[in-house]
Structure 1
Amino acid sequence: MAQVAPGAAQFADAARTAADRVVGANKDAVVAAARLIADCVAAGGVIHAFGTGHSQAVAFELAGRAGGLVPTNRIALVDLVLRGGEDPAVLRNPLLERSPGLADRLYELAAPRPQDLFVIVSNSGVNNTVVDMALKATGAGHRLVALTSLEHTHAVPALHASGRRLADLADVVLDNGAPAGDAVLPLPDGGALCGVSTLTSCLLIQMTVAEAVSLLLAEGHEPPVYVSANLPGGHERNALLEARYEGRLHRGGH
């Protein structure tokens, strides 16, 4: 029997299945991650989101978006140039995320405080920069939430000299349920199409933020949450909330 060619309906079905599976598998982890976020916000801390490659999309989902928490900082490799003074040519390296030794400088540029929390996103969880950042953050005493694919991370060799993966270093691991290689629709001649990790990871991030805000409200805190800057008065309201964290919120170079 000929294999059915992949299409929009097939991906929609695969995405719904993946989402349902991820929600069920991460119930306890979402609650635990939300507890860390709520404690961080209640203590006046900032949540630092870091990811490379397509995982940057998930960092965007956490840091600085309408309906999200204000005390969020997005760390990105581009910070090395835009805030760190490096030659822009450094960003031309397609394997930059595998380069050791970058996390110290990125951490320094972020200038986190002791009560701050790190959320590190990596589908594979094995590249040097994300593992270096996890080691740097936990070594400095920060709590760490990892968002990764456990199937992928255990299917590939650890690249870091320590032999450790992102998931090995976290206080809480959120598993995005993506298969090794991420893509979910098999192609007739081999290979696969359409990655699902961004969808499931963003779902987990939003679930965790919702649970964290629920905890903050239940404990008598007023959660600092963004409204859309494209609504009347939105920019001004957001600016007042951001002023509480002056100099601590950076969104990939800004």
Structure 2
Amino acid sequence: MDFAAAANDFAEQVRTRLDAITRTAAEGGLDAALDLMTTTIESGGVVHAFGTGHSEAFAMEIAGRAGGFIPTNKIALRDLVLRGSLSVDDLGGSSLERNPDNVEQLWDLAGIQPGDILMIASNSGVNGSIVGLALIAKERGIPLVAVTSMEHTMAVPLKHPSGQRLSDVADVVIDNLAPYGDATLTLNGGVPVGAVSSITAAYIAQLLTVGVSERIAVDGRRPPLYLSANIPGGDEHNSALEARYAGRIHRGT
């Protein structure tokens, strides 16, 4: 297979999945998540988004970007170093995302309150920090939306001591349609390549943002969305809206 053929094949793998997610949205498959997010934002709550590894791309699409909602927080494991008690050395490798022991501190750093919502993206949906944070949300009555690969999560061993997956804990589950192992192509010699979960998860994040914005704007209200800081008036617009959530949203991590 030459590069042009591989690129076309990968594009088709991506296109097929994005089309399927679009159909799901059109048929109401995202409505439960849209309901939770809309209620949260309209009632003055904050949308918190968490992902580890490449799944952090989903949280970055939800929180703190142009065209995204202002009442949002991106939760990241490095918060445990930047604002918590862990050292930089603790960030090395994948051990931190697999370890459920630090999720209480991560929860406290996030500042999640009643009336907020938590969204977690994890392709595998089984690592300790992912399931651990999800379980805290469940225990404290915080609505939880999961974005995960159902094909992958059902095919891998459970890792959290509870014996649960992210999809077992969440109130709403959205399938990112990534295949087992994430890669969509197999090259000569059986080499897997062409991961799609970051692409589909980012698309889901944007569909949710569009859907919630449409619901809020339907009667003429203005959704609390960021403007690009690189257009005239963007900083002023953003700062004025951020001030409404002072002490509840954090940026820069």
TM-score bracket relative to the smaller structure: over 0.9
In the TM superposition, what whole-angstrom CA distance separates every residue of 1:176-223 from its partner, at most 9, and x where no partner exists?
Answer: 000010010112211311100111111111111111112222366431
Q: Which has the higher contact order (CA 8 A, sep 6+)?
A: 1
Counterpart-to-counterpart distance in 2, 1:155 and 1:252 = 36
- Residue 198 of structure 2 is matched in structure 1 by 198
Looking at structure 1, the residues matched to 172 and 46 of structure 2 have their Cα atoms a distance apart, in angstroms, of 17
Tell me, in whole angstroms, the C-alpha distance in 2 between the residues paired with 1:191 and 1:159. 26
Contact 1:29/1:172 (8 A) holds in 2: no
Q: Where do 1:83-122 residues align within 5 Å? A: 83-122=83-122
Runs of 4+ aligned residues of structure 1 deviating over 6 Å after TM superposition are none
SS of structure 2 residue aligned to 1:57: helix
TM-score, normalised to structure 1, is: 0.94
C-alpha distance in structure 2 between counterparts of 1:94 and 1:198, whole Å: 18
What is the DSSP-based 3-state SS (H/G/I as helix, E as strand, rest coil) of the residue aligned with 1:84? Answer: coil
Matched, 1:78 2:78: yes
Listed as ranges, the matches of 1:165-180 within 5 Å are 165-180=165-180
Does the Cα contact within 8 Å between 1:75 and 1:252 map onto a contact in 2? no
Deviation string, structure 1 residues 228-253 (Cα, Å, up to 9, x no partner):
00001101110100000111112463
1:243 aligns to 2:252 (yes or no): no
Do the aligned partners of residues 72 and 94 (structure 1) sit closer, same or farther apart at CA in structure 2, a change above 3 Å counting? same
Equivalent residue number for residue 24 of structure 1:
23
d(CA) in 1 for partners of 2:162, 2:232: 51
Q: Which runs of 5+ in 1 are unaligned?
A: none
SS at match of 1:113: coil
Deviates more, 1:212-221 or 1:232-241: 212-221
What is the CA-CA distance between 1:59 and the residue it aligns to? 0.6
Q: Provide the aligned C-alpha RMSD in A.
A: 1.6
Distance in 2 between residues matched to 1:238 and 1:227, nearest whole Å: 7
Contact residue 78 and residue 252 of structure 1 kept, 8 A: no
Equivalent-residue separation in structure 2 for 1:105 and 1:180 (angstroms): 31
- Read off the aligned partner of 1:49 and give its amino acid letter: A
Q: Can you list the C-alpha shifts for 1:117-150, whole angstroms capped at 9, x where unaligned?
A: 0000000000010000000112111001100000
- Contiguous gaps of at least 5 residues in structure 2: none
Alpha-carbon offset, residue 7 of structure 1: 2.1
2:64/2:73 contact within 8 Å kept: yes
Establish whether residue 14 from structure 1 lines up as the match of residue 13 from structure 2: yes
